[in-house]
Amino acid sequence: MILDLVRNDLGQGGRTGSVEVVEALAVRPFGSVQHMVSAVEAGLAPGTGLAAILRATLPGGSVTGAPKHAVCAHLARTEAAPRELLQRPGVDRPRGTIDLAMPIRTAHNCAGEAVTYWAGGGITRLSDPAEEWKEVWLKARAIQP
């Protein structure tokens, strides 16, 4: 679902026929979890600027789920604060390209007084709530001493 959402997002400003999945569902091990990782590329359509691409791709589907705009509206109504850090783009590259990345699990230290750490998981119609809750705590364990 997320891979298709990203392909669709890039297609909004991508040159027709240029959207390409260059890596799909690769499993990568990290310190406390394994993640499926995919990479999607697209050539920029003539007349499309970076701002249009950022509007189409942010926030990322791995953070919102789908349908993206409906989910974002719901999150804005129900969450205590906006997901500011999660909506920042990645790194400028040479040759006029940009890599976009979403920091999914991050810690924020506010003036040395408190650390806020976010961890979550994707919920679908077929999800087992108890298993999803276990996954959130597994991810959150990464920051515990």
Note the pLDDT tens digit of each residue in 92-101: 566 667 766 6
8 Å CB contact between 26 and 37: yes
Handedness of CA 13, 53, 36, 136 (dihedral sign): negative
Mean pLDDT to the nearest integer, 12-22? 92
More confident residue, 10 or 143: 10
3-state secondary structure of 131: helix
The residue-averaged pLDDT of 13-31 equals 91
pLDDT tens digits, 102-123: 666 677 777 777 777 777 777 7
Domain map (residue ranges) of the chain: 2-90, 105-145
The pLDDT value recorded for residue 18 is 95
How far apart CA 43 and CA 120 sit, in angstroms, is 32
Kindly state the tokens that stand for 116: 């806020």
Q: If you average pLDDT over every residue of the chain, what do you get?
A: 80
Residue 99: CB atoms within 10 A of its CB come to: 11
Q: Which two tokens stand for residue 138?
A: 């597994």
pTM passes above 0.75: no
Instruction: Give the burial class of 60: count Cβ atoms within 10 A of its Cβ; 0-12 exposed, 13-18 middle, 19 or more buried.
Output: buried
CA distance 8 to 49: 17
Query: Which of 107, 56, 67, 110 has the alpha carbon at shortest distance from 85?
Result: 107
Return the SS3 of 60: coil
pLDDT higher at 19 or 30 = 19
